[in-house]
């Protein structure tokens, strides 16, 4: 039995190794650092996309509970789509697990809506503090992205609203003992929207040592990419938010000017219809030999690190991006980055110093991006300079040990706030 009040319970919407994303990386890396510091982190989540009720990932216990989406008329495909992205789930058994959890120091929610309300209510039940991390998806999301998230439930009757109200789903951020924003732009918008000042910008981090070295030639050999080919790599889930179609349009413009160039897209397919659209574009533009799609690599896979080291440049073309952990990973590998001038990327990357930008919503977005490909293709010295500057930035500011030390300060502030609240209540 762990000592009194050392358990930190992280509650993400889902947590499975085969559908890995930025939130999963954040939760796991924070948990690993907390465990090394003598705490007892645990991950409590839903069964979304999972086949097992319990697991241990990198030494961190993961407990999963059955869930549902309280809407009438949802098909199996619509439920699966919500499991993959943005589903507003409900889990009574997860709530029971939270209120019965022993030795809790603090609850850390990584989701809002009904799941966030579940954490809020459990924290009140246990008289413990809770913090909420905004990983993007509340104040800094384009309208098109919101529409995409709600597509599976459009036209459906929701019977779960009273339960959401009972859990205080709309009060999660107002009542939180602290709100953490991984993107600076979201933090500024949260400060303007919320009626309190318990808000901090805390960027994501990176395991620098893990990405410093890799075997790029091995990755190229495994995927039949010539050693001398100019290689662009994109690592992100296959999703309209990540805008791989825009990347393909730019590559189709660039490729005739550099016929030996190659593009690799790596990521789980959270939107199968969108993935099919990408394959159609590749076929219609005769890019089969130049573009490789890899549906996903395990977060712990050495091939993921090798992919960065195989690249001549890393490209992130998102229409919306609260932060961009993959940028940090590319920097640690010493690779130059081209990214969208959106969201948290605007403050993460210094233009022409640690990366190059393009505007994904501009009428000439594909031409802008293709021009950046050309700039790096034609100038090896620029590639090296950007990569070295990025690596220096990542090592100096974004190692997980630094980020988690700042998180501990936030936890202590949340505990102080909670203590004041409970002392004022009869």
pLDDT digit string, tens, across residues 5-55: 799 999 999 999 888 788 999 999 999 999 999 999 999 999 999 999 999
Distance CA 183, CA 200 (A): 10
Helix (H) or strand (E) holding 240: none
In the block, tokens 């952990």 appear at 325
Residue range(s) in the chain whose domain bears CATH number 3.40.50.2000 = 7-205+399-424, 208-397
Between CA 379 and CA 398 the distance in angstroms is 28
The pLDDT score that the predictor gives to residue 340 is 98
Cα R_g (the chain), whole angstroms: 22
Task: List pLDDT tens digits, range 308-328.
Answer: 999 999 999 999 898 899 999
132: pLDDT confidence band, cut at 50, 70 and 90?
very high
How many C-beta atoms surround the C-beta of residue 353 within 10 A? 12
DSSP reduced 3-state for 210: helix
Model confidence at 333: pLDDT above 70: yes
Spatial CA neighbour of 139 closest among 173, 104, 96, 177: 173
Exposure of 273 in the CB half-sphere (CA atoms within 13 A):
6
- E strands present in 47-141: 54-57, 60-65, 71-72, 104-109, 130-134
Please check the confidence at residue 105 and state whether its pLDDT lies above 80.
yes
Q: Are 242 and 318 in contact (CB under 8 A)?
A: yes
Bridge partner residues of 235 (DSSP): 266
CB 260 within 8 A of CB 226: yes
pLDDT mean across residues, the chain: 93
Rounded CA separation 21/236 (Å): 8
Instruction: Determine contact, residues 134/322, Cβ cutoff 8 Å.
Output: yes
Pick the CATH number of 208-397 from 3.40.640.10, 3.40.50.1100, 3.40.50.2000, 1.10.420.10: 3.40.50.2000
Average pLDDT over residues 61-67: 98
- What pLDDT, on a 0 to 100 scale, did the predictor assign at position 35? 96
161 pLDDT above the threshold of 70: yes
For 410, the 3-state DSSP assignment is helix
Query: What is the predicted pLDDT for the residue at 390?
Result: 98
pLDDT (0 to 100) of residue 149: 61
What is the mean predicted confidence (pLDDT) over 187-214?
Answer: 94
| pLDDT digit string, tens, across residues 219-267 | 999 999 999 999 999 999 999 999 999 999 999 999 999 999 999 999 9
- Assigned superfamily of 7-205+399-424: Glycogen Phosphorylase B; (3.40.50.2000)
In the numeric block, which tokens belong to residue 214?
A: 């890799």
> In this model, does residue 1 exceed pLDDT 50?
no
pLDDT at 425 over 70: no
The stretches of 263-399 forming alpha helices (DSSP H) are: 272-284, 302-310, 325-332, 345-348, 365-377, 380-397
CA angle 143, 354, 389 (to 5 degrees): 155
How much is the pLDDT for 296?
75
Length of the chain: 426
pLDDT (0 to 100) of residue 144: 62
H-helix or E-strand spanning residue 100: helix 92-100
The pLDDT of 88-97, averaged and rounded, is: 97
Structure tokens at 312: 């001549």
Give me the mean pLDDT over the 355-379 stretch. 98
Q: Taking 60 as the threshold, does the pLDDT of residue 303 lie above it? A: yes
Q: Quote the tokens at residue 399.
A: 């190692």
Distance between CA atoms of 388 and 395, rounded to whole angstroms?
Answer: 11
DSSP class of 399: B
- Say whether pLDDT at 424 is over 60: yes
pLDDT band at 426 (very low <50, low <70, confident <90, very high): low
Question: Which of 31, 39, 37 has its CA nearest to residue 59?
Answer: 31
Span 278-303, average pLDDT:
90
> CA 208 to CA 308: how far, in whole Å?
13
Q: How far apart are CA 376 and CA 231, in angstroms?
A: 11
Say yes or no to pLDDT of 156 above 70: yes
Residue 2: predicted pLDDT: 41
The strand ranges marked E within 190-299 are 199-201, 231-235, 262-266, 291-294
pLDDT of residue 270: 85
In order of 86, 129, 301, 334, 338, the CA distances from 119 in angstroms are 17, 10, 32, 40, 38
Region 60-82: mean pLDDT is 94
Query: Model confidence at 363, in pLDDT bands (50, 70, 90)?
Result: very high
Render pLDDT for 115-130 as a digit per residue (tens, 0 to 9).
999 999 999 999 999 9
Task: With beta carbons less than 8 A apart as the criterion, state whether 248 and 333 touch.
Answer: no
Q: Which token pair is 262?
A: 């190659």
């Amino acid at each position: 039995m762990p000592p009194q009040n050392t358990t930190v319970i992280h509650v993400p919407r889902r947590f499975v190794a085969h559908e890995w994303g930025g939130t999963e990386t954040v939760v796991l890396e924070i948990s690993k650092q907390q465990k090394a510091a003598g705490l007892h982190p645990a991950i409590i989540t839903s069964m979304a996309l999972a086949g097992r009720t319990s697991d241990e990932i990198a030494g961190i216990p993961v407990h999963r509970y059955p869930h549902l989406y309280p809407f009438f008329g949802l098909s199996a495909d619509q439920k699966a789509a919500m499991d993959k992205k943005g589903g507003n789930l409900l889990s009574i058994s997860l709530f029971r697990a939270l209120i019965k959890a022993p030795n809790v120091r603090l609850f850390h929610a990584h989701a809002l809506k009904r799941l966030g309300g579940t954490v809020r209510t459990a924290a009140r039940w246990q008289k413990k503090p809770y913090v909420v991390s905004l990983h993007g998806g509340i104040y800094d999301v384009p309208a098109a992205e919101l529409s995409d998230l709600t597509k599976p439930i459009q036209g459906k009757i929701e019977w779960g609203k009273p339960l959401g109200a009972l859990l205080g789903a709309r009060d999660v951020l107002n009542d939180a003992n602290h709100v953490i924003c991984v993107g600076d732009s979201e933090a500024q918008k949260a400060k303007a929207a919320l009626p309190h000042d318990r808000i901090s910008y805390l960027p994501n981090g990176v395991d620098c040592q893990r990405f410093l070295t890799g075997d790029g030639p091995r990755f190229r050999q495994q995927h039949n990419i010539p050693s001398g080919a100019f290689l662009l790599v994109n690592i992100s889930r296959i999703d309209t938010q990540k805008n791989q179609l825009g990347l393909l349009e730019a590559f189709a413009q660039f490729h005739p000017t550099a016929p030996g160039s190659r593009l690799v897209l790596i990521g789980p397919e959270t939107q199968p219809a969108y993935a099919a659209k990408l394959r159609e574009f590749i076929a219609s533009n005769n890019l089969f030999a130049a573009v490789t799609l890899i549906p996903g690599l395990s977060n712990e896979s050495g091939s993921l690190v090798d992919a960065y080291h195989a690249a001549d440049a890393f490209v992130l073309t998102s229409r919306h991006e609260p932060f961009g952990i993959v940028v940090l990973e590319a920097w640690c590998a010493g690779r130059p980055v081209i990214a969208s001038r959106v969201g948290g990327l605007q403050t993460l990357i210094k233009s022409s110093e640690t990366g190059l930008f393009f505007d994904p919503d501009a009428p000439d977005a594909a031409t802008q991006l293709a021009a950046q490909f050309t700039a790096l293709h034609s100038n090896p010295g620029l590639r090296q300079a950007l990569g070295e500057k990025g690596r220096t930035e990542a090592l100096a500011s974004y190692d997980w040990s630094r980020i988690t030390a700042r998180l501990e300060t936030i936890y202590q502030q949340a505990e102080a706030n909670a203590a004041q609240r409970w002392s004022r209540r009869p």
